[in-house]
C-alpha cells in the first residue's frame, strides 16, 4: 500500500510539473500573435554532416498562418492560410498545393500559431533545466517531426531545432525579429504566374 501511494504521488507530481511547463511555454508564446524574422537554417544528417544551408524570411500569425520564404540557395515560397498550403518553387516553375490539416498532423510546429487545447493536447512539453528552452514531442509517433526545441532569449523566440524521422537535425536562428506589425491578408495569399505547373494534392 505504501508503494502504491508513493507511486501515485510521483505520477501526480510529474503531471503537475508537465502542466507547469506547458503553462510556462504558453506564456512565452502569448506575445506572438504575429511574428516576423529573418532566418538562417543548417540541416545535418544523423552523422552530424551538413547536408543543406538556407536563408530567408518568415511571417507567422495566429491562427495557423505562415509565410516561409527561402532566398538562398533557391527561391522557394511556402504559404499556409489555415486551410491549404502552397509550395511555390520559382526555379522549376511549379506549385504544389496540399491540405494544411494533413501536413500539420502531429507536427509540434503548429503550437507556434495555434492556441487551442485540442492542438496542445497532442504533445508533451518539457522545459530544459537551467536553460530558456522547451522540448516538444508528439504523443503519437506518426508525424515527420519527432522533436522540436524552442529557444528563447527573455520572452522572445530566437531559434529552434527540429529532429525528423530520418534523424536529420534542422537548426534555425532568427534575427531582425518583430512582434508588433500590421498583418494583412496579402501576406498569406499565393501569387504565381499562370504559366507555372500546378500539382494539386488536396
Give the model confidence (pLDDT) of 160-170 as tens digits: 999 998 899 99
Name the percent of the chain lying above pLDDT 90: 68
**Cβ-count burial of 40 within 10 angstroms (0-12 exposed, 13-18 middle, 19+ buried)?**
middle
pLDDT band at 82 (very low <50, low <70, confident <90, very high): very high
3-class SS letters over 24-45? HHHHHHCCCCEEEEEEEEEEEC
How much is the average pLDDT of 147-152?
Answer: 96
Provide the 8-state DSSP code for 86.
Answer: E
The pTM score is 0.84
The mean of the pLDDT values for the chain is 88
Domain covering 2-200 in this structure, CATH number: 2.50.20.10
Residue 188: the pLDDT is 94
Amino acid at each position: 500500500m505504501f508503494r502504491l501511494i508513493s507511486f501515485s504521488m510521483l505520477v501526480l507530481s510529474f503531471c503537475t510539473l508537465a502542466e507547469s511547463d506547458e503553462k510556462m511555454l504558453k506564456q512565452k508564446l502569448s506575445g506572438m500573435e504575429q511574428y516576423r524574422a529573418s532566418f538562417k537554417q543548417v540541416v545535418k544528417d544523423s552523422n552530424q554532416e551538413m547536408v543543406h544551408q538556407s536563408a530567408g524570411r518568415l511571417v507567422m500569425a495566429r491562427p495557423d498562418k505562415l509565410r516561409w520564404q527561402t532566398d538562398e540557395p533557391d527561391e522557394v515560397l511556402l504559404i499556409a492560410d489555415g486551410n491549404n498550403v502552397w509550395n511555390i518553387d520559382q526555379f522549376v516553375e511549379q506549385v504544389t498545393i496540399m491540405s494544411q490539416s494533413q501536413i500539420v498532423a502531429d507536427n509540434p510546429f503548429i503550437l507556434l500559431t495555434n492556441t487551442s487545447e485540442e492542438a496542445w493536447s497532442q504533445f508533451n512539453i518539457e522545459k530544459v533545466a537551467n536553460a530558456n528552452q522547451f522540448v516538444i514531442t508528439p504523443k503519437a509517433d506518426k508525424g515527420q517531426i519527432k522533436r522540436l526545441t524552442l529557444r528563447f532569449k527573455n520572452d522572445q523566440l530566437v531559434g529552434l531545432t527540429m529532429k525528423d524521422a530520418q534523424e536529420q537535425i534542422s537548426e534555425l536562428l532568427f534575427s531582425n525579429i518583430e512582434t508588433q506589425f500590421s498583418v494583412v491578408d496579402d501576406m498569406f495569399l499565393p501569387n504565381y504566374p499562370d504559366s507555372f505547373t500546378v500539382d494539386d494534392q488536396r
